[in-house]
Structure 1
């Protein structure tokens, strides 16, 4: 999550908490390897995950979209994930992808462990105030 998308929260954080917040963007979600080719001359997965307000570049929600891709569910990234079917076929299953990239901590049973409360239809996907900021 980039500070410009959570301006209301960022302005209320002291310097130490802001640094922690900023560093979250440079965790696995910021360096995850996705196919970099523009299949069909359209967006890559990395660029597409930053645009829909329902995702706002959140890694946990991106992984949820990938989970849905393996189960045949719909998601805001559905089209771009389908364009990269060969990449996802390498792992055979969602669990295969999770195991390969060592993302087991993101799983909670057969679901994703979300960074903040998640309602499939609710916006916004980023905290709007300190009360909704995950600490």
Structure 2
């Protein structure tokens, strides 16, 4: 029961700062992808491989602050009530969407490693695509 209240407070703060529309959705998609990635790597039994995947996961988690700040600034300057992209925000939204999609494929690549059908280099390549998409988002937000 104790965890319920901090979770509610956080949800209210996110609603206030990111709204309930497009920018909140963009943020939440990244968070879900990150959660999925960490769920997948929990089952990796080889310690060396697990350590490599954890490092990649930590790098992706460090980007969450960037995603949050981009979405917060976007909601402040171009508020969104629904899921329509506000004028002038197409490139930013597209880049954030690509980052979340690449994060999902990073989790898929990690799952393939976990199953013994992939290599960590593929996970690294996908994670680099996440970072590149977020760099594009930052460049378009300026």
Please confirm whether the aligned pair reaches a TM-score higher than 0.5, indicating the same fold: no
- What TM-score results when the alignment is normalised by the length of structure 1? 0.30
Larger radius of gyration between Structure 1 and Structure 2: 2
- What TM-score results when the alignment is normalised by the length of structure 2? 0.29
